């Protein structure tokens, strides 16, 4: 088992999230799985993850979600507003996000997975 403190924001109902989790386990990584829909994240934790991603909160929001369309779509929002929305509605957080204490990756594609595995090894 590869030793690194790695966490994944995981939604078990999401095929991409399940696939990335399985790929990392298959590679021998031990992960802390954070089911963020069951255990919503605070604004601070989301801000910390955004900092590790080097992305603003607006870049990790799922705009196709119903709650986004009904509550936020036509509003003028600051990054602080996006952060509050992500903390209030965990379903809006893009997934999967894999992170260590030094860096984070939004792993939506095979290429992103390859980059992650390269950086972790």
Q: Is 14 a catalytic residue?
A: yes
Among residues 6, 14, 23, 67, the one annotated as catalytic is 14
Q: How far, in whole angstroms, is CA 33 from its chain's centroid?
A: 11
**DSSP code of 42?**
P
Instruction: Please spell the DSSP secondary structure of 52-78, one letter per residue.
Output: HHT--GGGGB-TTSHHHHHHTTTS---
* Catalytic sites, residue numbers: 14
């Amino acid at each position: 088992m590869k030793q690194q403190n790695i966490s994944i924001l995981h939604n078990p109902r999401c095929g991409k999230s399940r696939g990335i989790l399985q790929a990392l386990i298959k590679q021998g990584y031990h992960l802390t799985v954070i089911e963020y829909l069951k255990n919503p994240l605070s604004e601070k934790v989301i801000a910390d993850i955004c900092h590790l991603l080097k992305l603003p909160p607006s870049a990790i929001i799922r705009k196709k979600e119903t709650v986004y369309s009904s509550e936020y779509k036509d509003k003028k929002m600051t990054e602080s507003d996006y952060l509050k929305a992500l903390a209030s509605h965990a379903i809006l957080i893009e997934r999967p996000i894999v992170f260590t204490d030094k860096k984070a990756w939004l792993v939506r594609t095979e290429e992103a997975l390859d980059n992650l595995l390269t950086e972790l090894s």
